[in-house]
Each structure stands twice: as C-alpha cells, then as structure tokens.
Amino acid sequence: MTVTPTGARPAYVGGSVKRREDPRLLRGRGRYVADIRPAGTVHMAIVRSPHAHARIVGVDASRALATPGVLAVLTWDDIADQAGPIPCIDLYPDSLPTLQTALADGVVRYVGQPVAALVATDEYLAEDALDGVEVTYQRLPAVVDLDEAVAGHTLLYPEHGTNVVTTIAQDVGGDAAVDAAFAAADHVYTETFTVHRYVPAPMETRGVVAEIDPVTERLTLITSTQFPHLVRGFLSGVLGLPESRIRVIAPDVGGGFGAKCEFYCEEILAPLFAMRLRRPVKWIEDRREHMVASSHAREQKHSVRVAVSADGTVTAVDARSWTSNGAACCTLATTPASISSAMLRGPYRIPVYRARAHCVTTNKTPLAVYRGAGHPQAVLVMERMMDIIAADLGRDRVELRLQNMITPAELPNDRGTAIVLAGQVVYDTGDYGAVLRRAAGMIGLTPDWAAEQQRERARGRYLGIGVASLVEETAIGPYESAVVRVDGAGKVTVLTGSSPHGQGHVTTFSQLVADELDIDLEDVTVLHGDTDVVAEGVGTFASRSAAIGGAAARSAAATVKEKALTLASHLLEIDPADLEWRDGAAVVRGASRSMSLAELAGAATAWNAPLPGGLDWNLEATHRHQAPGIAFSHATHAAKVAVDVTTGEIDVLDYVVVHDCGTVINPSIVEGQVHGGVVQGLGGTLFEEVPYAADGTPLARNLADYLLPTVSDVPVIRTDSAESPTPLNPYGMKGAGEGGATGAPGALVNALADALAPFGVHLTSDGPWTPDRVLALIPEEQA
C-alpha cells in the first residue's frame, strides 16, 4: 500500500488487503448449495451404472416406486423427448460428436454414469430407494488402456469406426522443416511419458436445487458451479426453454478447480423433476459419487522426439499425445489436449515444432479441465526432456535452459500454435530467464550443489533438486462483464459476471474499484453468481477473473468517474479541465469547492430533473472487457527432496516458486493461489490417483482411497515474484490461479530423478510416486 496515485489515500491495489469474505464464513454463515432448503424440498438420488460398458436391457422401477417416501422415477424413455445431449463447447470442426445425455440412452460407457433418477421426501429415503430400481445390463468389453482404445478393437461408438474423436494439429515450420531439423540434428532424443488420472476433488462436492416459481413458471437452478451464466445458456438449449425463463444461482461455492467448470446431468435432471412435481428438488453429490460422477483429469500419454545440436540448442520437437477423454466429450473435452500440444515447448524457442494430439474415448468418467488443464502434462514432458538432454550432454541444467529460453528482447513472440476457444499463442511479456535464475538460487541449485549432493550420498542421504520452468495461458476471453453503479447515498455496487469459488473476488474487485474511484473499500459491494442480478457473464476458470473480470470492473468504474466529473463540471459551472478527481470527489483545482461522489450520484438519480448537458440519469456504467489475446504468466518451480532408499519415502525438504502474473492486485491472494496449486500438484505427484481395474472399475472410491495431502505432507512453500504487466488490458493483470499446479509435477519428478540418479533411474511419468513405486526403482542390493 505504498503507491499513492491520487491524493493521500494509499492504493488498495498491490496491498495484501484482508479478505472481506472471511468474517461471514468464519462464523459459519456461508450459504453453500447444501445449506439451501426451500419449503417443500424433496431429494433426488441417481441410479448409476456399476459397469464400465454395457447395454441396458431393461429398467424396472416398480419396486422403487413402492418404497416409502418415493415420489417419482425418471428413466431415459421418460426424458428422451425433453432433454437434448449435453453440449461440448470445444469440439473441433472435424471432431466426432460423442455427447452424453442426462440419462444413458441405451448404453452405459462408464461406471457411475446416470441410468435413472428418483426423488423421495428426504435424502435418507432417496438413497434407500436406489436398490429398488432394477436395471438389467448386457455387459460389453471395456476399454481402459489408451493404446487399446487407439487400436480400436472395441469401440465405444461403433458408428464412428474409431475411438479417436479428434486429432489436433500444431505445425510450426511444416513437415519439411521437421524432417530437415532431425536430419541435421547432432542428437535425437525419443521418450514416451505417461500421466495418470486425477480427480480435482474440491472439498464441497457438487449439488443443485431446482425450483419452479408457481406464479411465473420460471425455473431457478441453484448449482455449485464456476459459470452460472453458461449453465443458463446450456440448460436453455438442452431443455428448449428460453433463457428468460431460467435463473441460475451459484451461491457460495466450496472450490471448483475445473470440476465445476462443466455442465452436468444432474443440472438437467433436477429441473425435469421440479417441473413434474412442482416442488423444489435437491441433490447433493456424495463423495463416492463425486469420485465417478464429476469430471476426471490429466490422463495422457506423450511420445516426443527432440532434435538437439551439439551446442545444446533444441532445434525441433516432434510430438504425439493421446488423452484418455473417457466415455464422452463433456463440456470442455479437447481443451486439455489442445493446451498440452500448443504449450509443450514452454519458455523455449524451439523454432520447429509439430504435434498431433489425439482425444480418445475410453470407458472411464469423462475427462475435463482441472487447474492447469493441459499445462502440467506439457511441463512434465518438456522439463524432463531438458534434464535428460542436459545429463546426456554433460551440461548444467540451468544453463541449458537459459540457452534455449526466449529472452525479453524476443517478446512478443508468436509461437505459431493455437489453443481451442482461446486463440493464437503469442507470448506477451516476462523475463523467463531471470525467474529461473532466481528460483535456482533460492533452492540452492548452484555450482556447489553437485559436491554437496555427493557428500550427502556418501552419508546415505539421497537428495535431489528439480526445477521446472513454465509459461501458461491465462486471462482468456471471450470477455467478462461488469456494472458499476453508485446509489444516491454514494455507495458503490459492482456486478461481475465472473462468479468466484474461493478466489476472493469480493476483495480484489473492491480494491480495483475503490482505487479507481478513490473511495473506501467498505463503500463497495460486489455482487455475483445470480443471473437475475448480473445480466450476463462468463465465469471463473482459466486464471481469467482478475485480469478479464477485474479489468471490466475497473474500466466501468473509470467510466463512472468520467461521468461524475462531467456532471460536476455542469453543476459547478466550471471547465472540466479545472476539475480533478480526488478522495472520492470532483475537486476544483486550487479551490476548496468540490462535489462528493454521493452528492453527484444523488444529483443524477431518477428523481432529479433532466440532467444538464443531456447526460443520462444515474452514475452507472456497464463495461465488457473483451480480451484481445491471451496473457501468458510464467514461473519457475524448484523442489528439493530427500529419498529414503530403504523405504522409498520422499521428503520434500524445500519448495520454491518464483512467478510473474503481471500486475498484482493482492499479494496474499496471489500467494494463496500459488500455495494451493503447488499442493494439488504435489498431491498428484506423490499420492493422488484413480486407478482402474481391467474391467473398467475405478478403484479409488472415496477420500480414504484417493489420498489428498494434509499438513504433514507439505513443505513450507517459499515464493518470490516479478511483475511484467501485460499490455492486453489497461491495468496489466495476468492470471495466477493455475501456475502452482502446473509446475509442481515437473519440478518434483525432476527432483526425484536427481536424487535417484546413482541408481540409473529414468523417470517418464508423474507416478504417483508412492513409497512402493519409488522403492521399486532402487535395486535391493544397492539400497
């Protein structure tokens, strides 16, 4: 709070303002969807497929309907005429349409897929009744493994003749250039990497309450989502209802991480029941359901060929990847593969590049975006390759990276690739090398490190350091909306279309608007998450809210300020050039006359006579910030680990992130995002996994199976930052929400590889590196 742009008031932007959201939530006065129970609410439960792949022969709900408390059952036959398929918004023109329906339309393709739904008078009774819906299945062979799916002996959608639904191409230089680069290369490295399957696992599962207003016939859907406005549009399309008859509310949302950046079956089924029963219908996903019914993430395989010249310059990469997309294309299906293929080269020049990214259907839960989407996989691949090349060439890992890194002088830099929905990849600002050098220094990856490592190994301590540098797509469009309105009392209301789920928008958006209007933070109210309150918006995902939604809010506030100054010039009968905005007021330069925001807003309300100068009533402005391009944040992660070679246990001793997300609104909030992301990446690299049995049964069924990190598992995370504002919005913000998760797997696996180098280990996966898997890398006689 040291910057003082106007007057004596310190700026809020740049200061670690304490969160305004906290006091209410700390007292237990949150209002999450599970906390909402309109009078007469009844409860929905979902009959889910126990099989990975089967034909539905028959559904008999008669026993369920006779169960106490049960009010209704829906099967596919009941809704086929009313509910269209769930849209996928990131299909390529040549993608095969493999869309899911709200209830399985004759074939189930993953364990957990909704087959029927029922409603009962309470949650306990609804669960009791599930056994009463008898579904007869004819089992079909399941495809679990990516290679088998690509081979196509068993097809999920036989009508398409293949399990590969999309192949995304990225070509930089063309085939001839690729061939030439490899022909001219002094060294060619070929590796295959695997990345396992995760669940995002927010602490609040999903949930919905659907209600029909008996007077207006409008549908209200309260749902734990990251994008209520998009849900309104999707629901309108699926049910054929005009958007004006749908209100979607995202109340307090207990984390999302991408799992709630999807449109789901239950968001269709609950409204269908509500229409039939004329009662509010509620469904709260339980944790066992969450493990199969909410989106999965990450699972990919990558094969890369890398051409390197004798001096260590990486001249070309030729890459193929396969994403295990699961049983259907969900709302955001191709985005992970698109990002991985567009961003694989990270911060390195690599002038020639070819990628083919295949999206493959498998008999698993649909895979979607999860914090970082396709970035963490790409970073793991590229950063492992840099270490593999450095080791082979006998080069210092940091020096080799610096040699290949894009320098500030080379920015902006059109990378020649594109990301679906987001657009062309043109790196904007940053100093990637400076951030890498800083992180390496902080973690202790100095010229002395090798000797220290040797000394420790001689004492039986196996230490390793890994670094991972990344550039990530943030602040994507299409746009975000904001309304800034000053009431007659001079209090400011901000409406944002970016609906948060823990990011602290109320605090950061207040900071932006309070600074722009030079007023107290407490005079700003931020509203979000209700499509009847905020007319339009996009949502919170892809590290976009502060940059896009924040820019929209601040721009709207700037327009309000301009209007206030114009009005003041009329009312004070003074030349606008003689007015300045200071301390929340239009002040006559060099005089004591002024008009406060409250006075100006009061003079502009509808109960005034026509405003002078033909100004329209009210101090209010609407602004859409339309992103002209993607802003790219960047960072280097560095991890130091100790491996117990008698047990395979990994102790993360130190963890450093040096990051650059442009202009920082609130350092504490940015740091919190980094912390949370790193620990999600750490969890995925060390414990978290959804393994599948060969028959397609998922083996992680709850949080006792799917292990999330707790406080004892995490090191102290040290951060440092740089600020390279982006020119893509007036205020310089980029995104910070995902970088933590993006860098962690690469840094940790590189650290593990460094620690176990004496055993000749060659790591080409993100594990998870559980103790038994680590110990299996170490020959017993050498431990």
Nearest to 378 by CA among 547, 170, 229, 564: 170
Q: How far is the CB of 439 from other proteins (least distance, A)?
A: 10
Shortest spacing between CB 401 and other proteins, in angstroms:
20
Phi, psi of 570 (to 5 degrees): -70, -50
> 264 vs 706, which CB is nearer to other proteins?
706
Q: Which is nearer to other proteins, 489 or 776 (CB)?
A: 776
Sheet holding 631-643, edge to edge: 462-474, 631-643, 650-660, 717-722
SS (H, E, C) 103-155: CCCCEECCCCCEEEEEEECCHHHHHHHHHHCEEEEEECCCCCCHHHHHHCCCC
Q: How far is the CB of 465 from other proteins (least distance, A)?
A: 17
Smallest gap from residue 472 Cβ to other proteins (A): 18
> In sequence order, what are the beta bridge partners of 496?
482
Which two structure tokens, joined as six digits, stand for 322?
Answer: 């396969």
Whose Cβ is closer to other proteins: residue 16's or residue 605's? 16
- Which residue, 2 or 244, is less far from other proteins as judged by CB? 2
Alpha-carbon distance 594 to 776, whole Å?
76
Q: How far is the CB of 126 from other proteins (least distance, A)?
A: 9
Cβ pair 283, 207 in contact under 8 A: yes
Q: Which CB sits closer to other proteins, 148 or 644?
A: 644
Q: CB-wise, 35 or 392, nearer to other proteins?
A: 35
Q: How far is CA 25 from CA 28, 199, 222, 252, 466, in A?
A: 5, 26, 19, 9, 38
| Class of residue 130 by CB neighbours under 10 A (exposed 0-12, middle 13-18, buried 19+) | middle
Instruction: Measure the CA–CA gap between 368 and 259, rounded to whole angstroms.
Output: 8
Closer CB to other proteins, residue 197 or residue 501? 501
d(CA 513, CA 494): 8
Q: What length is written for the chain? A: 783
Distance from chain centroid for Cα 455: 42
User: CA-to-CA distance for 629 and 546, rounded, in angstroms?
Assistant: 15
DSSP for 244-283, written as a single string: GGEEEE--B----TTTTSS--THHHHHHHHHHHH-S-EEE
Considering beta carbons, is residue 25 or 188 the nearer one to other proteins? Answer: 25
What are the backbone angles phi and psi of residue 62, rounded to the nearest 5°? Answer: -60, -40
Name the minimum Å distance from CB 36 to other proteins.
9
Under 8 Å between Cβ of 445 and 436 = no
Q: State the Cα–Cα distance between residues 213 and 73, nearest whole angstrom.
A: 22
Minimum distance between the CB of residue 703 and other proteins, rounded to whole angstroms? 4
Of the pair 119, 611, the CB lying nearest other proteins is at 119
Helices within 572-620 (DSSP H only): 597-604
Residue 379's nearest CA partner among 473, 472, 470 is 470
Nearer to other proteins, 320 or 675 (CB): 675
Residue type at position 92: Y
**Token output for 52:** 């990975």
3-state SS, residue 56: strand
Q: Which one, 71 or 88, has the nearer CB to other proteins?
A: 71
Least CB distance to other proteins at residue 433 (A): 18
Shorter beta-carbon distance to other proteins: residue 416 or 715 = 715
* Least CB distance to other proteins at residue 297 (A): 13
On whether the CB atoms of residues 294 and 366 are closer than 8 A, the answer is: no
Closest CB to other proteins among 138 and 702?
702
Q: Which three-class secondary structure state does DSSP give residue 300?
A: strand
CA distance 133 to 120: 13
Q: Which of residues 343 and 439 has its CB atom nearest to other proteins in the complex?
A: 439
Least distance to other proteins, CB of residue 673, Å: 8
- CA angle (23 as vertex; 17, 29 as ends), nearest 5: 145
Residues 757 and 192: their CA atoms lie apart, in Å, by: 19
- Taking the least distance from each CB to other proteins, the nearer of 35 and 217 is 35
Shortest distance (Å) from residue 203 CB to other proteins: 4
CB of 679 to other proteins, least distance (A): 3
Q: Please enumerate in sequence order all residues whose Cβ is within 8 A of that of 586, keeping only pairs 6 or more positions apart, or say none.
A: 564, 565, 567, 568, 569, 572, 579, 580, 594, 595, 600
Q: How far is the CB of 261 from other proteins (least distance, A)?
A: 14
CB of residue 381 to other proteins, shortest distance in Å: 24
Q: How far is the CB of 133 from other proteins (least distance, A)?
A: 15
The least distance separating other proteins from the CB of residue 773, rounded to whole angstroms, comes to 9
Select 39 or 409, whichever has its Cβ closest to other proteins.
39
CB of 26 to other proteins, least distance (A): 4
Instruction: Work out how close the CB of 296 gets to other proteins at its nearest, in angstroms, rounded to a whole number.
Output: 16
**Closer by beta carbon to other proteins, 243 or else 644:** 644
782 token code pair: 């050498």
- Of residues 546 and 601, the one with the C-beta less far from other proteins: 546
Residue 294 vs residues 89, 162, 202, 331: alpha-carbon distances, Å = 17, 25, 10, 12
Helix 335-343 × helix 375-393 angle, to 10°:
30
Please enumerate in sequence order all residues whose Cβ is within 8 A of that of 440, keeping only pairs 6 or more positions apart, or say none. Answer: 398, 446, 467, 636, 638
In DSSP terms, which residues pair with 188 in a beta bridge? 307
- The beta strand positions in 213-351, using DSSP E, are 219-223, 246-249, 281-284, 300-308, 314-326
